[in-house]
Amino acid sequence: MSARLPRISASTRAPSRADRRLAARLRRRDPQALRDLHTDLGASVFGFLRHALGDRGTAEDVMQQVFLEVWQRGPDYDPRRGSPLAWVMTIARSRAIDHLRRRIPEPRDPSGAADEDPRGDFELDELLERWRLAALLGRLPVQEADVLRRRFYEGRSQAEIAEETGVPLGTVKSRMVAGLARLREALDQEEQAA
């Protein structure tokens, strides 16, 4: 198989205080650090795995492997190399690929088609990016995330959102601007070391 390895970057980022604190808690083996990571990222990791693997039970099993690995590798987590979100999602991607490879009967095609992954790496990376964005959306204030969902998922205009929610149009606009700005900033921080 010609699966690409997870991206490894030698570049570094300026970690936030929260990321440095999390790294310190993981180094000293604080179980609450793992719980906090699960609370913050669990839904996105599980969503990614469920879509990547196509089965809830399998996704649950792999999810436990991911968080076990997070715990085991926690002391080595370096926030200068990537955010906790990028780090945990990279582990999830690797474990998903492991599982997808295991369940392919080998060899699939003696003529050489065995090089093809049933769920291509490109598709998996796209899925991963979607769920990274979902994780960042989950950190927005609820009202801002709600406006963005109505606008970009339900396709409502700002005027329609104002009418549906009873919120003044000016407030809808300011929430959308604030939500997008917050999201851009979060994405910029996420992609600093990518």
Partner 1 sequence: MSDALLTRLEALGPDEWRPEAPPALVMPPGAEAAPRRRALTLRPLPALAAVLLLLALGAGGALFVTSQDPAPSRTLTLTSLRPDGAAQGKVRLARTGGRATLAVSGLAPSRRGEFYELWLLSPPGDLVSLGSFRVSAGGRATLQVPLPVDPSRYRFLDVSVEPDDGDPAHSSHSVLRGRT
Can you give the binding site for partner 1, defined by CB under 8 A? Answer: 28-32, 34-35, 38-39, 42-47, 50-51, 56-57, 60, 63-64, 67-68, 71-72, 129-131, 133-134, 137-138, 142, 148-149, 152-153, 180, 183-184, 187
- Which residue's CB is nearer to partner 1, number 114 or number 143? 143
- Least distance (Å) from partner 1 to the CB of residue 115? 28
- Which residue's CB is nearer to partner 1, number 69 or number 108? 69
- Least distance (Å) from partner 1 to the CB of residue 68? 5
- Which residue's CB is nearer to partner 1, number 54 or number 118? 54
φ/ψ (deg, to 5) at 32? -65, -25
Dist. CA 26–CA 64, nearest whole Å: 17
SS3 of 75-95: the string is HHCCCCCCCHHHHHHHHHHHH
- Least distance (Å) from partner 1 to the CB of residue 62? 11
- Least distance (Å) from partner 1 to the CB of residue 164? 16
- Which residue's CB is nearer to partner 1, number 100 or number 183? 183
- Least distance (Å) from partner 1 to the CB of residue 170? 21
Nearest to 121 by CA among 142, 101, 148: 101
Residue 125's Cβ-count burial label (10 Å; 0-12, 13-18, 19+) is middle
Residue 190: partners with Cβ closer than 8 Å, 6 or more residues away: 83, 85, 86, 132, 136
- Which residue's CB is nearer to partner 1, number 13 or number 132? 132
- Which residue's CB is nearer to partner 1, number 10 or number 142? 142
- Least distance (Å) from partner 1 to the CB of residue 36? 9
Please give the biggest Cα pair distance in the chain. Answer: 64
Q: Where are the alpha helices (DSSP H) in 74-194?
A: 84-102, 121-137, 142-152, 158-165, 169-191
CA of 166: how far to CAs of 107, 175, 186, in Å? 60, 14, 29
